[in-house]
Amino acid sequence: MAGPTALVSALHEELAAVLGLMPDEQQQMSGGRTFWRGHLHGHDVVGVLSGIGKVAAATTATALIERFGVQRIVFTGVAGGLAPGVRVGDVVVARQFLQHDMDASPIFPRHEVPGYGRATFDADATLTAHLTQVSDKVLRELPAALGNEVVHAFGLQSPRCHQGLLVSGDRFVSTTAESAALRAALPEALAVEMEGAAFAQVCHDYGIPLAVVRTISDRADDAAHVDFPRFLREVASRYSAAIVEALLRG
Ligand code: ADE
């Protein structure tokens, strides 16, 4: 495969375990970000923290493509569950992306990205099918490896892997009222985060395949912030590393 694979997360905790798998990584600075170049299971990879939010995500995606010549982008991280069955500890693999805070109405329909004639962007079908397969496998095996205490603390007894619409916006959704409003406006949305749809728009512009997997860290409600740092450290980082490892090993 020509050209490196980008491995991206928004937060340090999410990427740290992935970088730990790269024995030979070398740092390179660009645009105020550190890019880690190295190898994982024989693949040429570039790891980077996107930062939080759609602008940080879009500039990171552009730098990865323009400056590092990546040929595919895999994003791992956390999200808040929106659909009723999407619980903490589950995993959502995106099939489509939408910016829930895009609203140029009444000039354009709500959520439509002006100039594109569409509100949603697709994940790459092949890369996403592979990511779903490995995520499913990791979900069946990893909770046991995390230990009883962590499994019970976060209720990870029977995690599920969902596929569908992931929505992004420049806010951490942390009230029950706001998540109810999102569900009402976008009944198909499985989960909410802050970067995926920006990556999807840039990848669409450049024709670069994108796949995104998110572990559900909270329900985007009044309790969304509770245990968030501990979940990142003890659960999400392990999921990210195991999924990326399995993806590149395959
Ligand atoms: N990432 C993880 N949880 C989130 C939430 N509730 N809102 C936005 N992004 C998130």
Q: Give the residue, out of 178, 193, 231, with the most ligand 1 atoms within 8 A of its beta carbon, to mutate for a pocket test.
A: 193
Set 14, 112, 124, 193: catalytic member: 14
pLDDT tens figures, 16-67: 888 888 878 899 999 999 999 999 999 999 999 999 999 999 999 999 999 9
d(CA 28, CA 25): 10
pLDDT of residue 1: 55
Can you tell me the distance from the alpha carbon of 199 to that of 202, in angstroms, rounded to the nearest whole number?
5
Q: Mind listing the domains of the chain with CATH numbers?
A: 5-249 (3.40.50.1580)
Name the β-bridge partners of 99: 168
Mean pLDDT value across residues 169-180: 96
pLDDT over 90, % of the chain: 75
Tokens of 52: 């939080």
| Separation of alpha carbons 143 and 81, rounded Å | 19
Q: Which of 87-101, 107-121, 178-192, 225-239 has the lowest mean pLDDT?
A: 225-239
pLDDT band at 7 (very low <50, low <70, confident <90, very high): very high
Catalytic-labelled residue, pool 13, 112, 195, 218: 218
Evaluate if residue 142 carries a pLDDT over 90: no
Is the overall model pTM greater than 0.75, yes or no? yes
Residues with CB under 6 A from ligand 1: 78-80, 172-174, 192-194, 217-218, 220, 224
Mean pLDDT of 102-113: 98
pLDDT of residue 25: 82
Residue with tokens 């806010």: 171
- The helix (H) or strand (E) run that includes residue 55 is helix 54-66
**Catalytic residue at 218?**
yes
Give me ligand 1 centre to Cα 102, in Å.
Answer: 17
DSSP state of 195: S
Coil/strand/helix, residue 4: coil
Residue 115 sits at φ, ψ, to 5 deg, of: 95, -15
> Across the chain, what does the average pLDDT equal?
93
Told to judge if 44 belongs to the known catalytic residues of this protein, a careful annotator would answer no
